[in-house]
Amino acid sequence: MLLLAAGTDAKRFGELANRYAGWMQQYFDALAEADVPVVMVHDDIVWSSGPIFRPAWYREYVFPNYAKYFSPLLDSGKRIMFTSDANYNEFIDDIAVTGVHGFVLEPMTSLEYIVEKYGQTHVIVGNADTRILLSGTEGQIRTEVERCISLGRNCPGYFMAVGNHIPSNTPVENALYYNQVYEELCWR
């Protein structure tokens, strides 16, 4: 029904999103008063293949609300980490403009782009493919760790991590090997 409403009348759906954002603002206002240095904002705004809605809709209704949400956090000196599952490549720059200090990402979002554009100014967490850790060979696991480490190595705020966490059914030996390769390659 949510997608039907958005597809039927994008403007009215956007107005609904704005009303919801107004109600949600109290949560961000409270976070601004909390005694925490970092706030993680997780908002799954895309599919694996990219945007759910037209990009212009996000730019009219989502990102302006993010800027309002984040304003009291920024004013209070908090650091903001933004997370979205799937592929948010099209919106990396839009999200950066809202004032976030870092990105947490799965392998569908371009680590290459974020490193190139924001690697010296933002924290970057993730991008290792959990599917490789779940069912890959040692060679595939090593290649994935090498890929991430080689991209993030020169970024002062890069943290190697498996995107979307390590599933409970991951073979223990794969997780241990992933860690072994990480420890071997992590030194700057």
Q: Are 122 and 91 within 8 A, CB to CB?
A: no
The answer as to whether 95 is a domain residue is no
What are the tens digits of pLDDT across the range 86-102?
A: 999 999 999 999 999 99
> How far is 78 from 34, CA to CA, in rounded Å?
10
105 alpha-carbon distance from chain centroid:
4
The answer as to whether 71 is a domain residue is no
The answer as to whether 49 is a domain residue is no
What is this structure's pTM? 0.94
* Residue 47, helix vs strand vs coil: strand
The answer as to whether 178 is a domain residue is yes
Read off the amino acid at residue 77: G
> How far is 2 from 18, CA to CA, in rounded Å?
15
Q: How many domains does the chain have?
A: 1
Domain that holds residue 125: 101-188
The answer as to whether 145 is a domain residue is yes
Residue among 70, 71, 100 at smallest CA distance from 84 = 100
What are the tens digits of pLDDT across the range 21-64?
A: 999 999 999 999 999 999 999 999 999 999 999 999 999 999 99
The answer as to whether 4 is a domain residue is no
